[in-house]
Amino acid sequence: MKKRALGKSGLPVSRIALGAWAIGGWMWGGSDKKDSLRAIESCLDYGITSIDTAPVYGFGHSEKVLGEAIKGKRDRYEILTKCGMRWEGNKGEYFFTTNDNSGIQRDVYKYSGKESIIAECEESLLRLGTDYIDLYQIHWPDHTTPIKEAMEAFSILLQQGKIKAAGVSNYSVEQMDKASGVVELSSNQVPYSMVRREIEEDVVPWCLENDCGILAYSPLQRGLLTGKITPDYPFAPGDSRPETSHFKINNLIRTNKFLEKINPMAQEKGVTLSQLVIAWTLLQPGITVALVGARTEEQVKQNAGALDVKLSADEMELISKELDKLELELE
């Protein structure tokens, strides 16, 4: 798999990265550790070298599993993790309350204080079993802490060599402007899919103008765009997807009708709908990496196969026309 340089940092990343949220189990109805380890290890077989995780994914579980999987071959992966979501204490901006994998209730706060970020980095390094993080990202904006303070923490970590590049996640253009005034901003990780395209209005133009990479997360809209989610789909206990707007019954039915329109294109090419959707995502202006979740080796293999999908200008236009007809009722 060919790699791309991430923004001005020059950090090489694979065009498809493994999103390790589901591996954390939390909000995905659990996960199997053995499958998770094999999924991460198999990434190298299919050219996927970049793995994106976060402390809050399973409250440390995702990072620990990743650390176990890369042991002895750390130099073959790019590790992308995050900070700024704390479940111990109550500093910062309250975000939500949820149960962890053990059923213990956790209050999660967005907090980006300087000392907290530096401490979080040490905790992540320990869980990951490494002495450096390739890309460190603020997970969500914290409106109780000046962005300048958070970025100063990143500057310290860069100088110490504990992180190679600094990024953000879910940041607006205004917030990226403030952050980039303090530290060289390598990327912004944002939600982007065929059915969620708000970033095209302002985030994408800003990133193109400022040579800032875009990591598109949930390009399959948490599995919705695979075509496998039917109105009677058996979601596992603890799976939060049915509670989100895109999975409401009317939106689900309309999205599936759209997928039926473009499925013949996938069939003609001998690829899956998922692969077609990921290929479309990577062809959009400004998108550096598509972050795609996987919990098994087979899912990793299928994701990687999207790079072999070729879409002509006419095919891209046909998809766009069908997307223009799709009207979803989103909150």
Domain extent at residue 154? 3-223+277-309
Q: Please check whether residue 191 lies inside any domain of the structure.
A: yes
Backbone phi, psi, residue 78, to 5°:
-105, 120
pLDDT by residue for the chain (331 residues), tens digit each?
A: 779 999 999 999 999 999 998 886 655 455 678 999 999 999 999 999 999 999 999 999 999 999 999 999 999 999 999 999 999 989 999 999 988 878 889 999 999 999 999 999 999 999 999 999 999 999 999 999 999 999 999 999 999 999 999 999 999 999 999 999 999 999 999 999 999 999 999 999 999 999 999 999 999 999 999 999 999 999 988 788 899 999 999 999 999 999 999 999 999 999 999 999 999 999 999 999 999 998 899 999 999 999 999 999 999 999 999 999 999 999 7
Q: Which helix (H) or strand (E) holds 324?
A: helix 313-325
Q: Is residue 228 part of a domain?
A: no
Q: How many H helices and E strands in the chain?
A: 10, 13
Q: Is residue 293 part of a domain?
A: yes
Asked if residue 30 is part of any domain, the answer here is yes
- Residue 61 located in a structural domain: yes
Does the residue 272 lie in any domain? no
Structure tokens at 290: 């598509």
Retrieve residue 219's tokens. 């390009």
Whether the CB-CB separation of 322 and 262 falls below 8 Å is answered with yes
CATH code where residue 137 lies: 3.20.20.100
Judge whether 242 lies within some domain. no
Residues 6+ apart with CB under 8 A from 51: 17, 18, 20, 40, 43, 66, 70, 77, 78, 79, 80
Active-site option among 57, 111, 136, 217: 57
- Helix, strand, coil % in the chain, rounded to nearest 5: 45, 20, 35
- Residue 27 gets the label, from left (phi > 0), alpha (psi -120 to 50) or beta, of left
Tokens of 313: 């200008």
- Concerning whether 57 is annotated as a catalytic residue, the answer is yes
Report the number of distinct structural domains present in the chain. Answer: 1
